[in-house]
Amino acid sequence: MGSMTSDPLADQIDRLRGDTPGTAHVTHLNNAGAGLAPAVVTDTMVEHLRLEAEIGGYEAQAAAEARISATRDSIGRMLGTSGSSIAFAESATAAWDRALQALLNSGQLHHGKEVLVASSEYASNVLPLIQLQRSHGIGLRFVPDGPDGALDVEALAHMLTERTALVALTHAPSQNGLINDLPAVGNALRHANSPAWFLVDACQTAGQIPLDMNELGCDFLSATGRKFLRGPRGTGFLALSQRALTALEPFPLDLNSASWSATGEGGERFTMVDTATRFESWERSYAGFLGLGAAVDYALDLTIPAIETRITTVAEYARAQLAEIPGVIVRDRGSRRSGIVTFTREAHDPLQIIAALRAAHINVSYSPAEVALRDFVTHDVTGVVRVSPHVFTTDDEIERLVSIVAAN
């Protein structure tokens, strides 16, 4: 292929790989699972852990308070919003769950209401909704795929009713390479004057493509630090709209999110904090979130559009090369595609292909049907090999991957 001349990072690959020590030891094509961190992330975390060991955990937190606040501001800048709209969480799932709990606790989800999700929705986002079907009588409806295989926005618009309380969608599913047109969903909700809440799972797009809360038109955006952002595991965040911050009460509250403000004959009362920290809990890994801040700043310095261009360039090269192997079917769909490349090979076990790649120190992953059952069943697929490059991935690494797949 050679890298496209429009790729603004093509002439910086040596620097990007130098910033990422792991590239000297492994071909990492599993950034949709956990990104290969730049050294600044690890160094930032280790520095804070050493400070905790030297002066104490609370004292190290106090010393790092400005940097912790700056992490929220950096995430906000990445999402076109303010740091006061960002809540830390230990994972994307925890962040997503906090949004759902707040809606439930605030009376937005109850018997007779319904939730719309994509047919390719991730299992961890569907399972709690199945629980609410059983426990609260909430309806659950799946929006069909459109002609290109991505979410059918027109169908979603026609499915909106007065019963629709929540639209919960994944921006880029982890198993089929597509990017759903969620700004169009936000426009559809506005056009219909729908009061439905809009919850976006940006787990695979944060750090990979530009995200803007206003453009998306969403009330919540959940994401993890560990994937394309290349931050540490055990970190995530929830971004909230002003409507969500004004109208919703998280559950459960703790001393980080509220204060016990009155007691006695007048009854027990509390006062919530007025920022997104009301969606956080007290205890967290401050080393982890400082590492997340370093990862976000690293991405912002490269610029997210440049990252998207680089990842897209390499991913499309991988798709083209894999498709030339006899029996290989690239399973990716959608008019717009992410850096997630999925494939199967006729008469070949995906797990054996993955084992051969791992033996050659190439990291990829396996996506079984359980991660998105409806999507896999609809397309008659039981599992796929998933390849997810990043900005530091070279053409040579893709060609080595392809040669091993062809031989196995």
Paired residues of 241 in beta bridges? none
What is the rounded average pLDDT of the residues 148-161?
98
Residue 169 pLDDT: 98
pLDDT of residue 3 exceeding 70: no
Domain boundaries, the chain: 10-36+304-407, 41-301
Radius of gyration of the chain (CA): 22
Q: What is the CATH number of domain 10-36+304-407?
A: 3.90.1150.10
Q: What is the DSSP letter of 85?
A: G
pLDDT of residue 106 exceeding 80: yes
The confidence band for 319, taking pLDDT boundaries of 50, 70 and 90, is very high
The confidence band for 56, taking pLDDT boundaries of 50, 70 and 90, is very high
Cis ω on the peptide bond leading into residue 252 (within 30° of 0)? Answer: yes
Residue 320 pLDDT: 98
Distances (CA, A) of 97 to 21, 93, 251: 34, 6, 10
Residue 49 pLDDT: 98
What is the rounded average pLDDT of the residues 261-268?
90
What is the rounded average pLDDT of the residues 324-344?
97
The b-or-e profile of 248-264 (16+ CB within 10 A means b, else e) is bebeebeebbbeeeeee
What is the rounded average pLDDT of the residues 121-140?
97
pTM over 0.85, yes/no: yes
Nearest to 293 by CA among 44, 7, 97: 44
Residue 408 pLDDT: 87
Please provide the average confidence, as pLDDT, over all residues in the chain.
Answer: 96
Neighbours of 388 (CB within 10 A): 30
pLDDT in tens, 189-227: 999 999 999 999 999 999 999 999 999 999 999 999 999
Q: Does domain 41-301 have CATH number 3.40.640.10?
A: yes
What is the rounded average pLDDT of the residues 122-144?
97
Share of the chain above pLDDT 90, in %: 98
| Alpha carbons 115 and 84: distance in angstroms, whole number | 28
What is the rounded average pLDDT of the residues 353-371?
97
Angle CA 311–314–316, to nearest 5: 105
